[in-house]
Amino acid sequence: MPSFHEVFAQAAGTGGTLPFDRFCELALYHPKVGYYRRDRVRVGRGPGTDFHTSTSSDPVFGTLVAAACANLVGTEAAREHAFVEIGAEPFDSAQGGRGAGVLDGIAHAFREVRTIRVGEPLQIEGSCVVFSNELFDAQPFLRLLFRDGAWRELGVRLADGALAVVEMPRPGLAAGELIERLPADPGEGYSLDISLAASRLAAQIAAQPWHGLFVAFDYGRSWRELTEDSPAGTARAYRAHRQHNDLLADPGEQDLTCHVCWDEIIAAVARRGLRDATIESQEAFFIRHARDAVEALVTGAPRGPDPRRLQLQQLIHPTLMGQKFQVLTARRRV
């Protein structure tokens, strides 16, 4: 196995510097040293994991997802739909080296269930519910900094065996086009972290020959919130359930993420024909679209402490995951 520094040096060439999104791409998805390509457990609350998501509340999360999606497409129509999960998490040693899908072991109304994992072809066709959970926040992202009256693109440089964040000599093409849309003077030191890769991935998903329902769980903000109300940026790293800001520490061994820009995701899928896009909090989504399943979990639980009730509380309580996560839904009709 090559070291990350060896992989970085080969990608950077004689210049020794890469844009930040390219550094993220290597650190997260390089076939040999990328964080999401390593055969290890990342998600959960057990030893050796780095973070937990809504899927850590299985089987309650899967039960609510199945109920909400079937309700949105219609119970009868659900039988004609395939449930297609697109996941960033490819490995789970407890599952024999394969990631467990959100509906694994969950009763559902769909024709079939399949999961598209990292490195597998993105092929979706026919009547589908296309689902993702924290997929878009796991994509490489650009970092921009406003300094001395101008937006500057940040990169990563390898020198003397160490990685360091540097300003690029000039913004790349993608960063330059983005800068043209940004506030002219957001304030000295304003930082922006935004994933163009997430928008491209959303467009690729929407461009597939399928029709039905698109459902994406993630955490994000609007364009205005990111460009006007988030001066410190949203990029962060996770390792061993600790959040920190040293994005260059142990590349390939920690998760790197930033908030999704929902406006950009919606625009990307709209250009590929998806309509009726809405954003709801996770709490509102489940209460509105999986009410019967929520009530069954509450009323059907035994007296006293119940793990399913606690998982439900984690998912919908506004101070826990209920407001932290949002759900995008959009449709392509026949």
Q: What is the pTM of this model?
A: 0.90
Q: Give which of 137, 146, 79 is closest to 108, Cα–Cα.
A: 79
Residues 6+ apart with CB under 8 A from 88: 36, 118, 134, 135, 138
Contact (CB, 8 A) for 259 and 138 = no
pLDDT tens series, the chain, 334 aa: 689 999 999 999 999 999 999 999 999 999 999 999 877 665 655 555 645 555 555 689 999 999 999 999 999 999 999 999 998 565 444 444 445 789 999 999 999 999 998 888 999 999 999 999 999 999 999 999 999 999 999 999 999 999 999 999 999 999 999 999 999 999 999 999 999 999 999 999 999 999 999 999 999 999 999 999 999 999 999 998 789 999 999 999 999 999 999 999 999 999 999 999 999 999 999 999 999 999 999 887 667 678 888 999 999 999 999 999 999 999 998 8
- The pair of three-digit structure tokens given for residue 245, joined into one six-digit string: 């800001």
pLDDT, residue 42, reads 55
CA–CA separation, 77 and 5 (whole Å) = 51
Written as six digits, the tokens of 84 are 């297609």
Cis omega (within 30 of 0) on the bond before 140?
no
Estimate the crossing angle of helix 282-289 against helix 291-299, to 10 degrees.
90
Q: How far apart are CA 114 and CA 102, in angstroms?
A: 10
Q: What size, in residues, is the chain?
A: 334
Range of the domain at 91: 4-332
CA 10, 16, 21 angle in degrees (round to 5)?
80
**CATH number of the domain encompassing residue 201:** 3.40.50.12710
The pLDDT, as a whole number, for residue 306 is 83
Within 13 Å, how many C-alpha atoms sit on residue 197's CB side? 21
State the Cα–Cα distance between residues 334 and 324, nearest whole angstrom.
33
Burial class (CB in 10 A: 0-12, 13-18, 19+), 15: exposed
The alpha carbons of the chain give a radius of gyration, in whole angstroms, of 20
- pLDDT given for residue 147 in this prediction: 97
Q: Is there a contact between 214 and 266 (Cβ–Cβ < 8 Å)?
A: no
Q: Identify the pLDDT of residue 110.
A: 98
pLDDT for 97: 43
Domain count, the chain: 1
Cα–Cα distance for residue pair 301/73, rounded to 1 Å? 28
3-state secondary structure of 80: coil
Distance, CA of 315 to CA of 323 (rounded, Å):
9
- Rounded distance between C-alpha atoms, residue 254 and residue 329, angstroms: 30
Q: Are 178 and 196 in contact (CB under 8 A)?
A: yes
* Tokens coding 313: 């509380």
């392509």: which residue's tokens?
A: 332
Which tokens sit at 331? 């449709």
Question: Positive or negative CA dihedral for 263, 268, 270, 271?
Answer: positive
